[in-house]
Structure 1
Amino acid sequence: MDNLGIDFVSELVGTALLVLLGCGVVANVALVRTKGFNGGTLMVNIGWGLAVFAGVIVSYASGAHLNPAVTLGLLANGAKTFGSAATPVDVNALSVIAYIGAQLIGAIIGAVFVWLAYKQHFDEEPDAANKLGVFSTGPAIRSYGWNLVTEIIGTFVLVFVVIGFGGGRQGEGGLAALGALPVALLVIAIGASLGGPTGYAINPARDLGPRLAHAFLPIKGKGSSDWSYSWVPVVGPIIGGVLAGLLAIPLLPILT
Structure 2
Amino acid sequence: MHNLIANGFIGEFFGTMILLVLGIGIGAASNLKHSAAKGTNWHFITMTWGLAITFAVYVAGSLGSKGHLNPAVTLSFAFFHVDGFTWNQVPSYLIAQFLGAFVGAAIIAIHYYPHFKATKTEEEGNHVGIFTTGPAISHPLFNFLSEVIATTIFVFILGHLGNFTTGLKPLILGLLIMVIGQSFGETTGFAINPARDWAPRFAYTILPIPNKSSAHWEYAWVPMFGPLLGAFIACGLNTIIK
Superposition TM-score, scaled by structure 2 size: 0.93
Q: Is 2:109 the partner of 1:125?
A: no
Contact residue 138 and residue 198 of structure 1 kept, 8 A: yes
Q: Is 2:84 the partner of 1:74?
A: no
Cα distance in 2 between the residues matched to 1:25 and 1:76 = 34
Cα distance in 2 between the residues matched to 1:108 and 1:15 = 9
Match of 2:215 in 1: 225
Q: Is 2:185 the partner of 1:195?
A: yes
2:96 alignment partner AA: A
**Shift of residue 165 of structure 1?**
1.5
175, 182, 186: which is aligned to 2:172?
182
| Deviation string, structure 1 residues 104-162 (Cα, Å, up to 9, x no partner) | 00000000001111111111112336431111101001111100000011111111111
**Shift of residue 99 of structure 1?**
0.5
Q: Is 2:148 the partner of 1:145?
A: no
156, 159, 176: which is aligned to 1:160?
156
Cα distance in 2 between the residues matched to 1:225 and 1:56 = 28
What secondary structure sits across from 2:39 in the alignment? coil
1:181 alignment partner AA: L
Q: Is 2:53 the partner of 1:52?
A: yes
Contact residue 19 and residue 53 of structure 2 kept, 8 A: yes
Cα distance in 2 between the residues matched to 1:100 and 1:246 = 21
Cα distance in 2 between the residues matched to 1:130 and 1:244 = 36
**Shift of residue 3 of structure 1?**
4.6
Match of 2:90 in 1: 96
Instruction: Structure 2: state its 5+ residue gaps.
Output: none
| Deviation string, structure 1 residues 75-102 (Cα, Å, up to 9, x no partner) | 23323734xxxxxxxx12x421111111
| Deviation string, structure 1 residues 157-184 (Cα, Å, up to 9, x no partner) | 1111111111xxxxxx4x4268211000
Q: Is the alpha carbon distance of 1:24 and 1:163 closer, same or farther for their aligned partners in structure 2, counting shifts above 3 Å?
A: same
Match of 1:8 in 2: 9
2:28 alignment partner AA: A
99, 104, 116: which is aligned to 1:110?
104
2:194 alignment partner AA: P
Cα distance in 1 between the residues matched to 2:121 and 2:153 = 33
Instruction: Structure 1: state its 5+ residue gaps.
Output: 83-90, 167-172
What secondary structure sits across from 1:47 in the alignment? helix
Cα distance in 1 between the residues matched to 2:12 and 2:177 = 18
1:176 alignment partner AA: T
Alignment root-mean-square deviation, CA? 1.5
